[in-house]
Chains A and B, each alone.
Chain A
């Protein structure tokens, strides 16, 4: 058997496959980004028509993230503050406990696009959106100081002046 010729044919086939797959993938990415950009623009327009001004760029990249399992220890400590460049925000904890360990939980979940948070914020008339970012949020108000484990889910955090608003970034 002429292995050299066989290898050449396989290289040609794989090359064609990769080009097709790569092309399809790139096109999908392009279409997705275009759709998100269009949706973002429509959301900004809708928000401004309802008295909410948007003074920042709305993140357009789609993402999939893990839900996090967090471990807290009582007392002050150097606590972790982010996971894979996504900030972790712990509400109601104060200095009575600190975040000691982060583990991913289950499989990745789809993150809702940022414009969904903009649309939900329309109910607050008269304010302006100064920034919007993806964070992990956990509310420890009812449990703070006791230590233990908790779960952090992705949220869109919107800053409007000195106020902050949190909207779930997942759809169940």
Chain B
């Protein structure tokens, strides 16, 4: 009996001492300043960051092929191989020992690009040419920063030892000391569509170099869509990183949430409609140049849980400069099947100063399902149908007659593009008729006017 009691006491002592040991171990662990949790031993991440590379996002808006017959064939907007081939050929020409950059006239540029078989890459966003050269061939090849931003890149049958660029206000020929059949190789790599572009002079009969499409891509339909609502908590955690524990989270009754760190030095606002805005006070740092700052912007863009950031393209870039810091402002927009998605706001705007993201705004659209395919009405017909309305919106006057309105509008058009217009919970296929900065959205089939921006 004595032995039985002893054993029981031993059992109790064992348990008590074991528990005390665990407790003392917990206190020691806690003392190191870390909360003990299973997730720290077994790492788990419920989110995926989608990283997008520069080559997926910096793409031309239009790829135009011509045989010198005053008409242009359009490259498939979803195809990236044409631009890859162009960069490769440009790189080959730049890597030669003797490269000469000379300014040419607008007339000479038009001659080589319009009167000869040629290909033109019209960029969505102007790229600093010297940095573009470094990006594609690893060195500056003697290209000066003073050349400016490249808006167009062209190869022509007229000369096989050169390529051409158009900047904001000048034209250049980059002459190498080798010959290369760039045009054939680019054409072979490209997917050329049935769509043709002609000048407004040829189609509409009014003096205007703006290009108007004849026949747009088929198999297109309106798409049901909504503002993309991502997991804001996960985004905030990624944005604020280690400081997230000290971030103040403020939500109002309308569903808007603001995350604030250090009295607003870093601030992330998430609206109820799904758009976000981020600001950070940057006081020091160095810009790494266009491509380095773009990389920084793309990393921020990739801070989502599952949104396909590959659907975005760079559509604008401008230099930023404060008293102490330099950087860039990048604008991104969404594309579906290579066609731009237009809404009231750009899909994303990111400012990078001193090598860090100082401002970001994002409003993305996610697609649910497509409706029936649309029949494409001629762009020229849609312009004619809406010319009186467009005339009124441009001049605040009612036109005396339709011909007057049409002649006025036809002479002022700067571009006509097929786009998706986000309106009323749908991506509506439209012709976007641009007159300078003004944009008119007209249904691609019925010509009905949806909006003016």
- Name A's B-contacting residues (CB within 8 A): 4, 7-8, 10-11, 14-15, 17-18, 21-22, 24-25, 28, 64, 67, 69, 74, 105-110, 138, 143, 146-151, 153, 170, 172
Contacts and interface: CB of A to CB of B under 8 A. Distances in A.
Contacts of A170: 246
Interface string B3-29: 000110011011001101100110110
A165 B21 CA distance: 43
Contacts of A172: 242-243, 245-246, 261-262
Interface of B is mostly: helix
Interface of A is mostly: mixed
A14 B246 contact: no
The 10 closest A-B pairs by CB, nearest first: A14-B17, A21-B24, A149-B251, A107-B35, A151-B248, A148-B252, A172-B246, A7-B10, A148-B251, A151-B249
B252 A11 contact: no
B93 interface: no
Interface string B111-129: 0000000000000000000
A25 B14 CA distance: 21
B324 interface: no
B250 interface: yes
Given A4-B10, A7-B11, A7-B14, A14 B21 contact: yes
Given A8-B10, A18-B24, A25-B27, A147 B17 contact: no
B244 A11 contact: no
Contacts of B30: 64
A25 B21 CA distance: 12
B252 A143 contact: yes
Interface of B: 6-7, 10-11, 13-14, 17-18, 20-21, 24-25, 27-28, 30-31, 33, 35, 37, 242-253, 257, 261-262
Nearest to B16: A14
A14 B250 contact: no
B245 A106 contact: yes
Nearest to B246: A172
A25 B30 CA distance: 11
B250 to A, nearest CB: 5
Contacts of B247: 151
Contacts of A17: 21
B245 A67 contact: yes
A147 B253 contact: yes
Nearest to A170: B246
A147 to B, nearest CB: 5
Contacts of A28: 31
A170 B262 CA distance: 11
Contacts of B248: 138, 150-151, 153
Given A11-B14, A150-B250, A107 B245 contact: yes
Given A7-B10, A14-B18, A149 B24 contact: no
A119 B130 CA distance: 53
A21 to B, nearest CB: 4
Given A149-B251, A150-B248, A170-B246, 14 more contacts: A4-B6, A11-B10, A11-B13, A14-B21, A21-B24, A25-B24, A74-B253, A105-B249, A106-B244, A147-B253, A151-B247, A151-B249, A153-B248, A172-B245
8 contacts: A11-B14, A11-B17, A14-B20, A21-B24, A21-B25, A22-B24, A150-B250, A151-B248
Contacts of B243: 172
B252 A146 contact: yes
B10 to A, nearest CB: 5
Most chain B CB inside 10 Å of its own CB: which residue of A14, A15, A25, A69: A14
Contacts of A106: 244-245
Nearest to A10: B14
A109 B246 contact: yes
A24 B25 CA distance: 11
Given A7-B10, A107-B245, A109-B245, A151 B250 contact: yes
Contact of A146 (B7, B21, B253): B253
B20 A67 contact: no
A67 B18 CA distance: 33
Contacts of B31: 25, 28
Given A14-B14, A151-B249, A110 B27 contact: no
